[in-house]
Homo-oligomer: A and B are copies of this chain.
């Protein structure tokens, strides 16, 4: 069961309160280069990104927010550290969300100015505490890293609440998966606000995809999380693709095709790996939800893939093509790929009609 959270809106996109789990990413371009940033956001939109965040490290970056906002179609979140001027400037430029830890803006009067301006515009603020930016542990402090993260985030929450502001979203990211899971569980029990999930510094795709899938998977499967960002040292579109695959694996979102294919084993008598890779590549362009199976042998073949919309199972130099569990054709091995793609086109046309 999903945790019930308060709903907020980032622009028109609902987050929390039973809304579909929202996929977001962050640009890797220099925000001061509005054209490059807009181009990257548009690519992210193509991949299904639903909210985008940009770093706003200085005045020159903030100056470009209006142009960026005008060039894109999804809500824009400004990521700001320390400088309240930048937050005010971002709000004036029309951003849809702020990521900002009010505690980092020391002066209460300045915090108040930002909060008042955000409230006027109905712009939510995400409080994001990362394990790495915790203050150094005091002697005698026996709390876990997760407990310290939650305590720091709650201070920030209380600060916003004391200014009568409740358009709050929270994140508690760490590199360590068990720490991240513990922090989000504690926070989920402590406040009603929606949660933004992520594993931070997860690394290159080789390992980062695995760490993010494990961490976000655990939390999402227990109903925690309203929006997710997969952080990778990789082009941001890869973050979006991985986010959807995680959500699809838990039946939480539909997004384009699902490919079911055998592991390799000594029973396989066709070039399964090559075939599966070719099919996988071809499916990248398809946007409708569609289950496709590429199976190595007829023993497990149709059985395992019974629920696929369309599939193939190989035998000795030949194979069968099936649709909705029924065998529709038998073809030679070298015709399997084309025969499958024919079937896929037919089913896609049906679905798109």
Taking beta carbons and an 8 Å cutoff, which residues of A are in contact with B?
26-31, 37, 54-57, 61, 79, 81, 130-133, 175-178, 181, 200-204, 206-211, 213-218, 221, 231-236, 239, 242, 245-246, 249-251, 258-268, 272-273, 276-277, 280, 293-295, 299-300, 303-306
Contact = CB atoms under 8 A, between A and B. Distances in A.
A305 B201 contact: yes
Nearest to A239: B263
Contact of A175 (B54, B216, B260): B260
Contact of A57 (B28, B214, B266, B280): B266
B221 A304 contact: no
Contact of A30 (B181, B259, B266, B293): B266
A221 to B, nearest CB: 5
Nearest to A135: B303
User: How often does this chain occur in the complex, in copies?
Assistant: 2
Nearest to A217: B214
A306 B132 contact: yes
B181 A221 contact: yes
Q: Which residue among A26, A215, A295, A304 has the maximum number of chain B CB atoms within 10 Å of its CB?
A: A304
Contact of A273 (B81, B234, B265): B234
Nearest to A28: B264
Given A132-B305, A204-B280, A276-B203, A265 B27 contact: yes
A260 B304 contact: no
Given A28-B268, A31-B266, A233-B277, 9 more contacts: A26-B265, A37-B266, A61-B266, A131-B304, A204-B276, A207-B259, A210-B245, A217-B217, A233-B276
B261 A203 contact: yes
Contact of A201 (B181, B201, B304): B304
Contacts of A202: 263
